[in-house]
Amino acid sequence: MLHSTIALAEESVAVAGTSYEVPLMRLVARLGATIAGVAPFDTEPKIVIEAARSELTEIEKTDELERSEAAKRAHAQLDSEALLFGTQIRTVTSRALGGSR
């Protein structure tokens, strides 16, 4: 989400003065409000970009590790078709967990 927020904030600078500016800035402000260091609904793209990049730098190693571990689990549990297209959500019943009904 942080990468998307950065891209949208950068795009909002590029479309300044057009009819796209206001709605895009509204979106950037909403997304920016979820980032540490950005005042709620602060519509300055530069501040949103800097805060998002700072947040990415802070979480980057942990994020990469978690994604790598999730990918390993997926490869161990799913066949190639499920890896590509996904799989149906399975319902877990109390019986499957060892309980009785």
Number of domains observed in the structure of the chain: 1
35-55 pLDDT, tens digit per residue, is 998 988 767 999 999 999 999
100 assigned to some structural domain? no
pTM metric for this prediction: 0.68
92 assigned to some structural domain? no
User: Tokens standing for 27?
Assistant: 């979106």
Angle between helices 21-32 and 2-14 (to 10 degrees): 150
Contacts of 93 (CB under 8 A, 6+ apart): 101
65 assigned to some structural domain? yes
Per-chain mean pLDDT for the chain:
89
15 assigned to some structural domain? yes
Please say whether the beta carbons of 8 and 27 come within 8 A.
Answer: yes
59-82 pLDDT, tens digit per residue, is 999 999 999 999 999 999 999 999
What is the maximum span of the chain, computed from C-alpha positions, in angstroms?
65
**Domain assignment of residue 36, given as a range:** 2-85
14 assigned to some structural domain? yes
51 assigned to some structural domain? yes
Of residues 39 and 95, the one with the higher pLDDT is: 39
